[in-house]
Structure 1
């Protein structure tokens, strides 16, 4: 790695610290926010607003980075994120905070695809695995220490400083990127902006993300609101495909969607992201609800799993760079993950050492898969379209997270309701009573037999979730084995010229 590459990587990692820290501390600060400003009914919108704007704008900013250069898209996103952070800290009301979080999400939507596209621009395909491994410690430190640091900030300075604390990181990243990253001249020829495509993409994506939130909040599949949102997604999605087929400079070229390696990678990333996010969100529930650990002990249990995921991620990145291949590593990751998840599903319900061992296998497999598909897609497209392809992969990953968490959460709630003994239901205990397992004062009021039965029902419900995770992993494994091509990673500059078009399948 040259000195120039190292400087840019430091800037990108500093910007990533900003994003990871902010995402991990907001949840810690929210109880204090609600206590200060009220607005509990709007609580979820603080997270939904960020998720919406960061997801729907990913392909748009990826395309703009290809057209205008990634330096200005990245730095513009950084400015928006910092402005949103300051506005969050100044919020006089929950509505203001939600709008400010939406602005933060807009900035993140520009920064996320630009980060990996910049890595793809300054490193050859074979070097990108090693370079992407440097982001692993950022996620590890930010994810583990963020809530702890956030708690100290809230206790010592107040919740507003959770948002102000991001500003120094952002300014440091801005100085580094402005000084180190070169400005690429805009591609010659007339400028074509696919405004209609951008509007249709937002119109198609927003309803399905809102539908997942509505389902999370208890609405049924058959409710008019959910059905209407899905119908709007289908109509706008069809219009988006029609528009992209006729646009001069489409946001998401259909030639990219028809490229086999992109299509396979997008579907696989969608499935894998659904597994990854739901595993990390539900493991604390398993630790506290089934095993009966305290919150601090749960944190200690989660730490090795997170470390394993990050170490496997870093190791795979290094291996990709050494081998110049990715398919065998992808297959190995899915095999290890599938074995771990199948073992969890086949073990008797509970939380034993055998369950933890199976979870370790699943964590290693999950971590191995994180860097692979973005690298293989970047290797298969022209350098001038790396931003579009990278943003497309992140877009499908975000969709997989939102939809996967919702569907798995609904399946878990249904399984838990069926697993509750009739005696508990007659006593008025419902799936919502699981929350009592995390409150010592409520737990003390429950009969010991009821506590045992509730933990057993929770363990049985988790078995159903293990099967869903395992089937998703196996489906992704089958897709990878049968359809993923193993293109050698180039160790020099991409063979495509900046003005090349995407290769057409079958030619």
Structure 2
């Protein structure tokens, strides 16, 4: 083994590998804790933002406070991927964490909405870098048979915040003030990150080759396009069209430059893996964005019960993720992807039946759980395949491309579907829902086809 590649931690051959064995325990706990804190922050801020916008008189910047984090995360993902390949994941992780915490402090101490938006932009930049660095850390530290269980643990790190995050955020806003939604996270993020120091210290860069500096410009362009998409999705009529069309064109150009060759053409192998991440994630998160509105506006559920319905999807996701990491039938990743995509197709159709008032709500909620189960099979399997199909010197770039593909795909889907829905909001809103769910179903069907090409 060459001296510039870190040797994986050895696992006793007489014992089944465990991500919580002494050799891996601190690394696993630290990574899952960081992911959980990121998930809690995202969900808690979503619940607290109406109060923030009211107190800072910043309703006009409300959309930017959300879309800005998505846009800057694209830059963080791209830079962290290249840097991880050149110098290892340690520096991208620490710099990303510093940027994330600084953004939280700026937002938590902000006296005006523009300052809070600046903090949110810094958060997105740091969060994008952290997510890529953690994936590279998995690839450099854990042997391939253990990676499915690591990504199952990552999914679990999202489930608990999705169940309790909004409720805890409400309590914090009510009793301590909205600022502590931002200021409390750094108190836990730093100790969690320190658990990763031993693993990071033992890693070395896989390649000393210089990186392509032009990716920075394309990443900035992609971030600008994603932000323009998000803003355009909030508009109506010609204003939306004037923003969405150039944004989609710019996004397509930047994606062609940033993603591996053949991704947009669905070439077999790694390009199809990366493309499938965008397609499947867009189908799931697109449905998730409109489901609470459907349940509250058309079926009369309270915000609390609509939130519980979303939690069923999160539980389904965790169940599927656990299953792919512990299944004993010897199913290949390709089989898991196809089964998951098919489950998503069936689940989306059943969920859409909630539009008809005669359909029992429990059936629609069962459909959403099924959709989450399918996504739980698909999502971590794509992470496992990306690391398996990537040489060590390219794990950072390919992991960055995987997450970049998801971010840009979801942003595009939400912007386009949101604009279509807005066209029918004042008329036949049922047609708007049907068009939206038809788009998500088409994406899920496409996932079935693309899954055969991995």
Determine the C-alpha separation between the residues in 1 that align with 2:62 and 2:253: 30
Partner of 1:314: 322
Is the Cα contact below 8 Å between 1:88 and 1:163 reproduced in 2? Answer: yes
Partner of 1:214: 232
Q: How does 1:140-179 map to 2 (within 5 A)?
A: 140-179=159-198
Q: Paired residue for 1:21, among 33, 40, 49?
A: 40
Partner of 2:65: 46
Give the superposed CA RMSD.
Answer: 2.6
Partner of 2:8: none
Is the Cα contact below 8 Å between 1:17 and 1:169 reproduced in 2? Answer: no
Partner of 1:323: 330
Is the Cα contact below 8 Å between 2:72 and 2:124 reproduced in 1? Answer: yes
Determine the C-alpha separation between the residues in 2 that align with 1:103 and 1:160: 16
Determine the C-alpha separation between the residues in 1 that align with 2:366 and 2:340: 16
SS at match of 1:158: coil
The 3 A distance-change label for structure 1 pair 18 and 35 is same
Deviates more, 1:98-107 or 1:461-470: 461-470
1:298 matched to 2:269? The reply is no
After TM superposition, give the deviation of residue 474 of structure 1 in Å: 1.0
Q: Paired residue for 1:192, among 196, 203, 210?
A: 210
Determine the C-alpha separation between the residues in 1 that align with 2:24 and 2:284: 30
SS at match of 1:260: coil
After TM superposition, give the deviation of residue 222 of structure 1 in Å: 7.5
Determine the C-alpha separation between the residues in 1 that align with 2:382 and 2:408: 16
After TM superposition, give the deviation of residue 465 of structure 1 in Å: 2.9
SS at match of 1:185: coil
1:134 matched to 2:143? The reply is no
Q: Paired residue for 2:269, among 234, 257, 261?
A: 261
Determine the C-alpha separation between the residues in 2 that align with 1:155 and 1:96: 23
Q: Paired residue for 2:378, among 366, 369, 380?
A: 369
After TM superposition, give the deviation of residue 362 of structure 1 in Å: 2.4
1:380 matched to 2:397? The reply is no
The 3 A distance-change label for structure 1 pair 355 and 187 is closer
Task: Give the ranges of 4+ consecutive aligned residues of structure 1 lying more than 6 Å apart after TM superposition.
Answer: 255-259
The runs of 5 or more residues in structure 2 that have no matched partner are: 1-17
Q: How does 1:467-478 map to 2 (within 5 A)?
A: 467-478=438-449
Is the Cα contact below 8 Å between 1:219 and 1:226 reproduced in 2? Answer: no
After TM superposition, give the deviation of residue 347 of structure 1 in Å: 8.3
The 3 A distance-change label for structure 1 pair 260 and 68 is same
1:479 matched to 2:411? The reply is no
1:203 matched to 2:221? The reply is yes
For normalisation by structure 2, the TM-score amounts to 0.87
SS at match of 2:66: helix
Residue by residue, what CA displacement relative to the aligned partner does 1:436-493 show, whole Å, maximum 9, x if unpaired?
xxxxxxxxxxxxxxxxxxxxx54x5433333222221111101223x22xxxxxxxxx
SS at match of 2:196: helix
The 3 A distance-change label for structure 1 pair 220 and 110 is same
For normalisation by structure 1, the TM-score amounts to 0.78
SS at match of 1:323: coil
SS at match of 1:84: helix
Deviates more, 1:124-133 or 1:387-396: 124-133
The 3 A distance-change label for structure 1 pair 13 and 358 is closer
After TM superposition, give the deviation of residue 110 of structure 1 in Å: 0.7
Residue by residue, what CA displacement relative to the aligned partner does 1:235-286 show, whole Å, maximum 9, x if unpaired?
6667xx4xxxxxxxxx766488897312111221111111111222222112
Partner of 1:99: 118
Deviates more, 1:384-393 or 1:348-357: 348-357
1:411 matched to 2:420? The reply is yes
After TM superposition, give the deviation of residue 211 of structure 1 in Å: 2.8
After TM superposition, give the deviation of residue 349 of structure 1 in Å: 2.4
Determine the C-alpha separation between the residues in 2 that align with 1:336 and 1:236: 32
The 3 A distance-change label for structure 1 pair 393 and 57 is same
Partner of 1:498: none
Determine the C-alpha separation between the residues in 1 that align with 2:445 and 2:246: 32
After TM superposition, give the deviation of residue 302 of structure 1 in Å: 2.9
Partner of 1:81: 100
Larger CA Rg, structure 1 vs 2: 1
After TM superposition, give the deviation of residue 416 of structure 1 in Å: 4.8
Partner of 2:7: none
Determine the C-alpha separation between the residues in 2 that align with 1:131 and 1:348: 38
Partner of 1:462: 433
* Residues paired across the two proteins, number: 432
Deviates more, 1:294-303 or 1:272-281: 294-303
Determine the C-alpha separation between the residues in 2 that align with 1:289 and 1:256: 39
Q: How does 1:232-271 map to 2 (within 5 A)?
A: 232-233=250-251, 241=257, 254=261, 260-271=268-279
Determine the C-alpha separation between the residues in 1 that align with 2:105 and 2:125: 14
1:30 matched to 2:38? The reply is no
Determine the C-alpha separation between the residues in 1 that align with 2:253 and 2:288: 33
SS at match of 2:177: coil
1:360 matched to 2:362? The reply is no
Deviates more, 1:262-271 or 1:297-306: 297-306
Partner of 1:276: 284
After TM superposition, give the deviation of residue 173 of structure 1 in Å: 1.9
The 3 A distance-change label for structure 1 pair 230 and 261 is same
